[in-house]
Structure 1
Amino acid sequence: MSTQSRTEAQPSKRLEFRVGALGAFIAPLIFAIGTFVYFVGFVVLDLTAIAAVGFLGLFVASWLAKGQEKFWNAAIDGIASRTSATLFLLMLLVGVLAQMFKATGVSSGFVWLAQEAHISGGVFVMITFLITCAIALATGSSLGTMLAMFPILYTAGAAIGASPVLLAGAILSGAIFGDNIAPISDTTVISATTQRYRRRAGLADVGGVVRSRLRYALPAAGIAAVAFLVAGLLTSSGSAQSNIVADASPTGLWMLLAIAALILVAFIARDLFLAVGVGLVVGTVVALVTGLATPGQVLGAADGAPTGYITDGLSSMLPLVCLLVAVFAMIGVVESSGMFDRIVEAIISSPRFQSARGAEAAIGLSGALCTVVLAGLNGPGLMFAGPLSDKIGAAVGLHPYRRSNVMDCAAMGVGVIVPIASTFLLVASLGTQGYEGIPELSVFAILGAAFYPFALTAMTVFSIVTGWGRRYEGRDGVELVEPDPEWQAEMTGTLPVVGLERR
């Protein structure tokens, strides 16, 4: 695929605005303000409303552009990229998969295991973190996992004497961990598909990105698990009762077969479409055979309306797809204006960013800042940071996996927990409300127990400073520990090619 917006457009072909070059950021600015108002001011957690704000920003910006046709052509170019098309299709398929796991009671199976172990309140905090990690890893939905787990694990843990603050922090942390490495997570897909190879065709594959990301995510999760266990034992007491969770059932554990198949195929074949397909087939067969679902709960109709997790899954993703359309349109406008190239040129021309460490610092900052600006919405934040990270990292020869991981881990660390603009903390706070005898927690109270994001941030900073895990792109896209001499020779005496041709 090709478009002028991802090349260094000549000045005469660039999209211009009546208010100057910064006019390219009018739509993103309106989007950021509207997102903050809806999520923090109105406390309205609705992606359709946020998508509407994005389209409003585009509409306003179009009237300030020097040429409506040129503006909307740039927006369409952004929407029509291979990256966006891949993401749209994956989100729809992932929506069906996530709905299947929700409908078949995976969470009740994990809760049953914890309940049967008769654990203390202190240990339950760590178990809460691990269960939430597993559910988020299976569904790829961080916010969805949080909304599902608070009514079960928060109330159950509080009933046996676990610290409410630690329980909330454990659910938040587990959801972020799963979102960080789940092959079907929108942030994993976005962070991978926005990074292009320079020495072979194609985008970074999700399976390879996840495999390489484990070296950062697993140690951070281990640190968080130990922290939750120690803090839980110091602050909690009591033992579990057999009837804590009325709907806990071991039958949901059969769906572990589908989860295992999905993860295995994603890692071996490195083909997310194939992995999702295998997960859906195995999960559907298992659900029907074990009685976890009826044919009508897979796909059917009742009272003149469609039923089943296939239609529900597609419907659940439509607001996100609308949001993605608006965001990619904004990216197309910014790129067509030449502002991405100007920003990248300014960064890579600075001596402090011309080293691999400096480039990684810039990539991490872009991922974190874009996420913070968009109220902690890591998916849209990474969509904005992705093209910048791709160009900045490629200029020093960093491998697409490394670019993706530094950007994503910075966003999933400090980027999602800035208290004045964090959708994750807000959802966690809402999850603690409405339970008799259990305290309602503020975002600032939960922030102190967000052990995984803090640990992940520390791992990311350590990795950038020391170079641990740093890889460079070699011939045919192979990972190299040291820069490829051929690449360095190509770059010697020339300015890095920062424009992106679409494939």
Structure 2
Amino acid sequence: MSEDRAAAPLLSFRIGLLGAFIAPIVFVVSTIVFFVVFRAFDMNALTAAALAGLFIAAPFARRYDAFWEAAARGVSSKTSVILILLLFSIGLTSSLIKSTGISEGFIWLSLSLGVHGGLFIAITFAAVCAIAMATASSLGTMFTAFPIFYPAGFVLGADPVLLAGAILSGALFGDNLAPISDSTVISSTTQRYRTKDGTAEVPGVVGSRLRYSLTAAAIAFCLFLGIGTLVSPGSEAVAGVSPDDFSPAGLWMLIAVVVLLGTAIVTRNIFKAVTAGLVSGIVVGLLSGVLEPAGIIGVEGDAITGFLIGGVANILPIIGLNVGIFAMLGVLESAGVLDRLVEKVVSSGWVTTPRRAELAIGAGILATTTLFAGVNGPSMLVFGPIADRIGAQVKLHPFRRANVMDCFALGLGSVVPVVSSFLFIASLLTVDQGSAPALDPMSIFTGAFYPLVLTCVILTAVLTGWGRRYEGIGGSVEKDPSRAADLDADAPQADPTAVGDQRTRTTTETR
């Protein structure tokens, strides 16, 4: 998108920069009305709100055609296109898992082992954390985990809000810490050394991030276990339920899940992983009897059925929302909103201490991630150079800059109520999951303990200086600020095209 911006004139409005915010304001207000006032959740209505905002804003642009060209650049960006293809792909996998009874198999297994209620919620969080770490794909993890754990947990007496929050939390944990996740790579590669060539090394960033991520995960696990046990019906809900009431046959489909995870780990390419998962899932499903040929694609009356058709149909609402959001982002970027943000923050003169610099980085990435609807990769790609300059002014080490930015982005930034794509997708994935209730995004937000705790952990680290390190000679990690080298905050920027290519490559490989 940045290359298109360089070749296009700046988009201007008759009412000034406020014109660029008309569409986002219409979208946010409409979403609040739908969710908070009417308590109604409809993804198609959100897409309509985004489009309505664009049509309302367009006449205020000084050049009407330029407005829609900016919106088109946003939708056609590599990030947007890859995300659309990824959503279609993992939507098929989710539909296959849902249609083959793997959740029923988990109910049988959990009843046999005596796992239910709050314990099931805590185990689900840990299991999803492991899956997300293995695949480094938050979206892929959510589409895989919800059909397995959500309906099963509800039958086993787990509180649905906490259960959905545990699945979302586990997915975000993997994004936050996995060495091959795009957020980890971007947070690292946007932070440059000043005393040597290169950017922050991913292994070093992950190693220094463990103290924050694992602390937040441990606290979240205890919350899921403790609060989950208090609010879940638990043993009362399963008192009259026997393992004999459920079939374990669906557990054969775990072979396909293992194949998908293994392929993702080996190839680091989510599209290859989805292909392997689909092929192995179809073969295992047909051989085990949990899937019939008509379940793949068939015809009933005048309707085409099967998990392939269902997967496409179920994912279309979130695809529409994706188009609307990226169109609004295209307008914001073409209007120079992000460029002005860079200039204002860097030239403010407020950043004079390490704590202030880190607070500025945290506030900035929260605002940017909110603008990007919680999609953390692109938001860090945009804000990363700002964090780099702010942090270098007070000699912060690239590892520390990367960690502060990433933890705020994967914390509250990813689950801001009303605008978070993660909450929207999680809500969509609770629909049509057997007897389990469909949840609205605001409800899931209250159960998303990990990102909320992570925000508290990193904010505590900023305020107390826990884990703060400075850049010494040759890029060394220094705890004592007096040993820090003098850094040039305005050193020449790394080639943004190279960073953009890295981001696109990582997105394709991991998400």
TM-score for the superposition, normalised by structure 2: 0.70
CA distance in 1, matches of 2:2, 2:445: 44
Q: Is the 8 A contact 1:207 1:267 kept in 2?
A: no
CA distance in 2, matches of 1:470, 1:176: 31
Q: CA 1:500–1:57 in 2, change beyond 3 Å: closer, same or farther?
A: farther
1:258 aligned onto 2:250 = no
CA distance in 2, matches of 1:470, 1:109: 48
1:24 aligned onto 2:20 = yes
Q: CA 1:33–1:469 in 2, change beyond 3 Å: closer, same or farther?
A: same
Q: Is the 8 A contact 1:181 1:210 kept in 2?
A: no
1:57 aligned onto 2:38 = no
Equivalent positions of 1:22-421 (< 5 A) are 22-119=18-115, 123-124=119-120, 126-127=122-123, 129-130=125-126, 140=140, 152-154=152-154, 156-157=156-157, 167-168=159-160, 170-181=162-173, 191=183, 217-231=213-227, 238=235, 240-241=238-239, 243=241, 248-351=246-349, 361-369=359-367, 378-379=374-375, 382=376, 385-395=379-389, 409-411=407-409, 413-415=411-413
CA deviations over 1:50-72 (Å, ceiling 9, x no partner) = 11111111111110000111111
In the comparison of the two structures, how many residue pairs are matched?
Answer: 466
Q: CA 1:289–1:424 in 2, change beyond 3 Å: closer, same or farther?
A: same
Q: CA deviation at 1:212?
A: 9.8
Q: CA deviation at 1:294?
A: 1.7
Q: CA deviation at 1:211?
A: 11
CA deviations over 1:315-365 (Å, ceiling 9, x no partner) = 222222222222212111111111111101222334555888766644543
Q: Is the 8 A contact 2:157 2:235 kept in 1?
A: no
Q: Is the 8 A contact 2:107 2:156 kept in 1?
A: no
Q: CA 1:313–1:20 in 2, change beyond 3 Å: closer, same or farther?
A: same
1:3 aligned onto 2:6 = no
Where 1:15 maps in the other structure, the secondary structure is coil
CA deviations over 1:426-484 (Å, ceiling 9, x no partner) = 998xx8xxxx9x9xx99999987654343322343356565759999xxxxxx9968xx
Equivalent positions of 1:422-437 (< 5 A) are none
Q: CA 1:329–1:175 in 2, change beyond 3 Å: closer, same or farther?
A: same
Of 327-336 and 111-120, the range deviating more from structure 2: 111-120
Q: Which amino acid is 2:323 matched to?
A: V
CA distance in 2, matches of 1:419, 1:348: 28
Q: Is the 8 A contact 1:348 1:354 kept in 2?
A: no
Q: Is the 8 A contact 1:78 1:332 kept in 2?
A: yes
TM-score for the superposition, normalised by structure 1: 0.71
CA distance in 1, matches of 2:341, 2:477: 28
Q: CA 1:111–1:221 in 2, change beyond 3 Å: closer, same or farther?
A: farther
CA distance in 1, matches of 2:89, 2:468: 32
CA distance in 1, matches of 2:287, 2:210: 34
Q: CA 1:425–1:86 in 2, change beyond 3 Å: closer, same or farther?
A: closer
Q: CA RMSD, aligned part only?
A: 5.2
CA distance in 2, matches of 1:133, 1:40: 30
CA distance in 2, matches of 1:41, 1:105: 37
Q: Percent identity?
A: 37
Where 1:3 maps in the other structure, the secondary structure is helix
Q: Is the 8 A contact 2:397 2:477 kept in 1?
A: no
CA deviations over 1:57-103 (Å, ceiling 9, x no partner) = 11111100001111112122222222222222111112112222222
Q: Is the 8 A contact 1:207 1:272 kept in 2?
A: no
Q: Which runs of 5+ in 2 are unaligned?
A: 193-199, 479-483, 502-511
CA distance in 2, matches of 1:207, 1:314: 38
Give 2:506's aligned residue.
none
Q: CA deviation at 1:172?
A: 3.5
CA distance in 2, matches of 1:207, 1:286: 37
CA distance in 2, matches of 1:328, 1:452: 27
CA distance in 1, matches of 2:47, 2:181: 20
Q: Is the 8 A contact 1:122 1:234 kept in 2?
A: yes
